[in-house]
Structure 1
Amino acid sequence: MSERLPRKVLVTQRFFDAESLVYLRANGCEVELVPLADGQADGDLSEDQLQALLADADAWIVGHAWVTGSLLARLPRLQAIARRGVGYERVDLAAVRASGKVATIAVGGNDASVADHALAMMLALGRRLGDSKARMINGDWTIALGGDLYGKTVGVIGLGRIGRGVVKRLSGFDVRVLACSRTPDWDYGREAGVRFVELDTLLAESDYVTLHMPLNDETRLLIDAAALSRMKPGAMLINTARGGLVDDRALLEALLDGVIAGAGLDVFLSETDGSYRTTTEALLALPNVVATPHSGASTHEGLQRTNLIAAQCVVAVLDGENPPAHCVIADGRRGQGGL
């Protein structure tokens, strides 16, 4: 067997673990980890910066950078683009196919991490953990009464891998679970004790509403002022999916006016639209908002899983083989498929 020539893999994400590095190097890859400044993500890099970094790369393990047609046209050597995550609204799939390249996502790697995060937000909101700590720091040890998750009604919008993970975790809390899905799986519903309902019914009856769907033209701003007005006054909204699913300005007004009782937010519209920055800051200042910096998938274990899946997809493409079909979002190689 002839010795394999080194293939260069560029990683523009933090927290790339040793096991995934070992895997890539054992499969004939030279790996370059791009150093990012504190608070910087690869989505902050300009197209010119990305082109300079990727000029001699055969594969790219990417986080939140925009993968555009104009960028791909400047990178003839690049063969594989592997997202360390599952969302791909920033990837131009048509351009990937037209350029003969392959784009993949890390399906299954962070499902458990995000499902855990959604439950953590429900519990933190219900028991007023953030508000209580802030009061104590200011010397106020008065008990802030919260509420149980036990016995409540939870509405799950989107029943993919993460949504089902949330349902599984909720089984220990003796809750009533409602679900809204484009394609209801009635057998699953019977087995898991989930009642499928229309969106309006879910919003009207749920004490907690948690979002678990992709961002696309159909779901963009799904939770707007009208949807928020249909929720219970004491309800909580959880968004660990995508910022564009919720109209953050309408959410801020709903929280200030008492239309709903609280929100747990891991994602924000300001991540992609700077005009919402002041809205995000106002949301963060509210005592009935629990917030994290798009970190729902970012656990040691979750990132190790997604790193390795991305690495395995890269090696498969560079070896001229097919990555797992459920990870492929675009495949421009002759005779190949893709979503």
Structure 2
Amino acid sequence: MSIHPHRRRVVVTQRFFDQATCDFLTAHHCEPVVAEPPPGKGDGDLSEAVLRELLADAEGWIVGHAHVTDSLLLALPRLKVVARRGVGYERVDVEAVHRRGKVATIAIGGNDACVADHALALMLAVSHRLREGQIRLDAGDWSIPMGTDLYRKTVGIVGLGRIGRGVVQRLRGFEADVLVCTPTPDEAYCRANGVRQVDIDTLLRESDVVSLHAPLTPETRFMVDASAIEKMKPSAIVINTARGGLVNDRDLLAALEAGRLQGAGLDVFVSESDPAYHGVSRALIALPQVVATPHAGASTREGLDRTNLIAARSVVDVLDGATPPAACVIADGRTVSHSSKKGET
């Protein structure tokens, strides 16, 4: 296909960007450039200097976990839109996006189902001690590690967004007693779905499984720490498929090593954003009662295809002068006057 005279360069700094979404961008007068990070790395590991070089001529950027900083945006005057292939945006400087007159979006609705599936997978894997059984078999030991049911257990859901509600839906098949704790109560939803809305202390005290689905904010950071764990049953399981900073991994490690909890299923770690916790992450991953995955909850073929396309549609909307769906927009600085931007450094 010949290059359109008004073709806009869109740089993708994530792996697993499918051809159908590239074709969508091409059909909408964009030139997709997939700049995959090195093996074993994500775009969050790329330096700002490397990102500046990759994005020098880009009008759109489809990003994973890279830090979107004010200094980076200032160095990229052609860039109009930053589209996260995901829903968390704690690494995006929202104020800087506004200040620099750009747009930032998230891919709402693309990975809800696969992350909810992943949370259930971790619940089952930890409660049935699948990893411990595998370790024993690898050592030639056919003794059976005694597991516990998820069936008719009490499961506490912290956060009742799309993923939290997906977990609630999946737990119906297990006849679980579901507790939810959310800052925005929804009594009608709870009545319709047979779940109990409780405060966090009640949830921690009564739950056999505590599954985290809250955003990471200053208020939620380390919400599961030593004091929270002290309120939980010694037989309880912690599941975190949301954000690493929700759990103080150092306190979780101490509790697991002391037998204060049954186990944990972890897809996210504090060390993803704080290198000082790398040793803690390695120690957690080494424990037989921990089932760990590398922030992979959203990484199914179908889920990534959905989030790729949602991000690409947001990019096209902005480059066409339109507005993406409201739920996807986290910052829109296009109303900032040219004069006010020009005077800033």
Asked if Structure 1 and Structure 2 have the same fold, meaning a TM-score greater than 0.5 normalized by the shorter chain, the answer is yes
- Cα drift, residue 35 of structure 1: 3.0
**1:138-153 map, 5 Å:** 138-153=139-154
What is the aligned partner in structure 2 of residue 272 from structure 1? 273
Letter in 1 for 2:11: L
**Structure 2 SS opposite 1:139:** coil
1:296 aligned onto 2:297: yes
Gaps of 5+ in 2: 338-345
Q: Residues 185-223 of structure 1, C-alpha deviation per residue, up to 9 Å, x if partnerless? A: 000000111100110110010000000010011100100
What is the aligned partner in structure 2 of residue 226 from structure 1? 227
1:207 aligned onto 2:203: no
Q: Residues 74-105 of structure 1, C-alpha deviation per residue, up to 9 Å, x if partnerless? A: 00000010000000000000100111100000
What is the aligned partner in structure 2 of residue 260 from structure 1? 261
**Structure 1 SS opposite 2:72:** helix
* Dislocated runs of 4+, deviation >6 Å: none
- Cα drift, residue 335 of structure 1: 7.2
**TM-score normalised by the chain length of structure 1:** 0.97
Q: Residues 95-130 of structure 1, C-alpha deviation per residue, up to 9 Å, x if partnerless? A: 001111000000000000100000000000111111
**1:7-86 map, 5 Å:** 7-86=8-87
**Structure 2 SS opposite 1:30:** strand
What is the aligned partner in structure 2 of residue 242 from structure 1? 243
What is the aligned partner in structure 2 of residue 182 from structure 1? 183
**Structure 1 SS opposite 2:53:** helix
* In structure 2, distance between residues paired with 1:322 and 1:238: 36
- Cα drift, residue 4 of structure 1: 5.6
- Cα drift, residue 144 of structure 1: 1.1
* In structure 1, distance between residues paired with 2:21 and 2:269: 30
Letter in 2 for 1:42: D
Gaps of 5+ in 1: none
Check whether the contact 2:98–2:336 (CA below 8 A) recurs between aligned residues.
no
- Cα drift, residue 36 of structure 1: 2.0
**Structure 1 SS opposite 2:179:** strand
Check whether the contact 2:43–2:64 (CA below 8 A) recurs between aligned residues.
yes
1:328 aligned onto 2:332: no
* In structure 2, distance between residues paired with 1:256 and 1:40: 30
* In structure 2, distance between residues paired with 1:110 and 1:120: 15
Q: Closer, same or farther in 2 for the Cα pair 1:335/1:54, shift >3 Å?
A: closer
Letter in 1 for 2:212: L
* In structure 1, distance between residues paired with 2:298 and 2:289: 23
Check whether the contact 2:70–2:96 (CA below 8 A) recurs between aligned residues.
yes
Q: Give identity over the alignment, percent.
A: 62
**Structure 1 SS opposite 2:134:** helix
